């Protein structure tokens, strides 16, 4: 934090859940004019602190990013990534293979791999359930890509979504399930939390009687490092409403997934 900024004892900013105790003891009020003098990552962080918002790796922080700041963020990440490469003793000046690596990595993280953190929820058109559909519908497998928040290694997987609508449910287009899944998964995270976050988004938007999600994924933190086991995959699920209460409905959903996977 720049030393030349005035510390203002007029009152504390709202307490942020993930700010260290030592940092909570003294707060700084900053206007947008003051914030403009800070690196963009610090500007965004101060807005989060002021709003008492969380900014874990798998959180969406789009509401706290102003127009044009993602370009600044890419430039800041590029500069920091260049220092990482220097720390790894990689000659980015004369090595033609790594001349533009820092720039490419920054663009990849902000615009692609972690875009679910920085972009708002994609537009999803909803339709009323005019025909009062109440039969099981399954969407999948949806191919998803994510990253492990422990080692930033890739996660590649498939997601199946089961919906049991009711007369008050909102219906969304088939492709919109894939858009929402991609938005949630394009963040650093662990699979168990990712599936729960996806379930929360769909439950709020569709409001079905039952919601079921199964995710199967390969984790490159297992394949690429550590035990280097190339055959292990992780499967987990979330069952809500009717799927949790009705064993027959749950069996029907899971049996249809098996058929989908059959050769």
- Whether 200 and 134 share a structural domain: yes
Beta bridge partners of 160: 214
Q: Is residue 204 a part of any domain in this protein?
A: yes
Q: What is the mean pLDDT of residues 44-57?
A: 93
CATH of the domain at 247: 3.30.1130.10
Q: What is the pLDDT of residue 261?
A: 54
- Whether 141 and 236 share a structural domain: yes
Structure tokens at 93: 């000046």
- Whether 93 and 174 share a structural domain: no
Whether residue 121 contacts residue 180, with contact meaning beta carbons closer than 8 Å, is answered with yes
- Whether 108 and 134 share a structural domain: no
Q: What is the pLDDT of residue 230?
A: 78
pLDDT above 80 for 175: yes
* Residue 147 backbone phi and psi in degrees, to 5: -145, 140
Which residues are CB-contacts of 40 (< 8 A; sequence separation ≥ 6)? 69, 72, 73, 76
Q: What is the pLDDT of residues 76-116, one digit of tens each?
A: 999 999 999 999 999 999 999 999 999 999 999 999 999 99
Residue recorded with tokens 């790594």: 98
Q: What is the mean pLDDT of residues 154-164?
A: 93
- Whether 146 and 202 share a structural domain: yes
Mean per-residue pLDDT over the chain, rounded? 84
Among residues 23, 59, 65, which one has the least CA distance to residue 44? 65
- Whether 100 and 205 share a structural domain: no
pLDDT above 70 for 135: yes
Alpha helices, DSSP H, located in the chain: 21-24, 32-35, 40-50, 69-87, 101-107, 115-118, 174-185, 191-206, 220-223, 242-245, 247-261
d(CA 229, CA 238): 26
Q: Is residue 20 a part of any domain in this protein?
A: no
Q: Is residue 63 a part of any domain in this protein?
A: no
Say what angle helices 40-50 and 69-87 make with each other, to 10 degrees.
Answer: 120
pLDDT above 60 for 13: no
pLDDT above 70 for 12: no
Q: Is residue 151 a part of any domain in this protein?
A: yes
Q: What is the mean pLDDT of residues 42-49?
A: 92
- Whether 134 and 239 share a structural domain: yes
Structure tokens at 229: 């086991």
Q: What is the pLDDT of residue 220?
A: 82
Which of 17-21, 78-82, 151-155 has the highest average model confidence (pLDDT)? 78-82
Among residues 139, 116, 240, 119, which one has the least CA distance to residue 189? 116
Number of structural domains the chain divides into:
2
Q: What is the mean pLDDT of residues 201-223?
A: 90
Q: Is residue 174 a part of any domain in this protein?
A: yes
pLDDT above 80 for 10: no
The two beta strands, 188-189 and 137-148, are: parallel
Whether residue 29 contacts residue 46, with contact meaning beta carbons closer than 8 Å, is answered with no
- Whether 231 and 185 share a structural domain: yes
CATH of the domain at 95: 1.10.286.10
Residue range of the domain that includes 101: 69-118
């Amino acid at each position: 934090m720049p030393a030349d900024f005035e510390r203002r004892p007029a009152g504390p900013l709202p307490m942020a859940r993930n700010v260290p105790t030592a940092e909570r003891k003294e707060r700084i009020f900053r206007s947008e004019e003051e914030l403009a003098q800070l690196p963009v990552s610090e500007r965004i962080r101060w807005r989060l602190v002021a709003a008492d918002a969380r900014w874990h790796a798998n959180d969406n922080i789009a509401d706290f990013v102003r127009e044009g700041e993602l370009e600044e963020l890419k430039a800041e990440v590029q500069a920091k990534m260049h220092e990482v490469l220097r720390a790894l003793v990689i000659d980015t000046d004369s090595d033609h293979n790594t001349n533009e690596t820092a720039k490419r990595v920054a663009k990849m993280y902000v615009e692609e791999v972690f875009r679910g953190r920085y972009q708002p929820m994609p537009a999803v058109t909803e339709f009323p359930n005019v025909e009062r559909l109440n039969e099981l519908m399954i969407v999948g497998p949806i191919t998803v890509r994510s990253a492990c928040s422990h080692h930033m290694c890739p996660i590649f997987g498939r997601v199946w979504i089961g919906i049991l609508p009711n007369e008050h449910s909102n219906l969304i287009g088939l492709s919109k399930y894939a858009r929402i899944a991609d938005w949630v998964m394009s963040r650093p995270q662990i699979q168990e939390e990712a599936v729960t976050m996806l379930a929360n988004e769909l439950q709020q938007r569709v409001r079905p009687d039952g919601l079921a999600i199964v995710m199967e994924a390969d984790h490159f933190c297992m394949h690429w490092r550590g035990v280097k086991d190339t055959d292990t995959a992780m499967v987990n699920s979330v069952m809500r409403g009717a799927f949790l209460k009705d064993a027959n409905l749950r069996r029907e959903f899971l049996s249809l997934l098996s058929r989908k996977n059959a050769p």
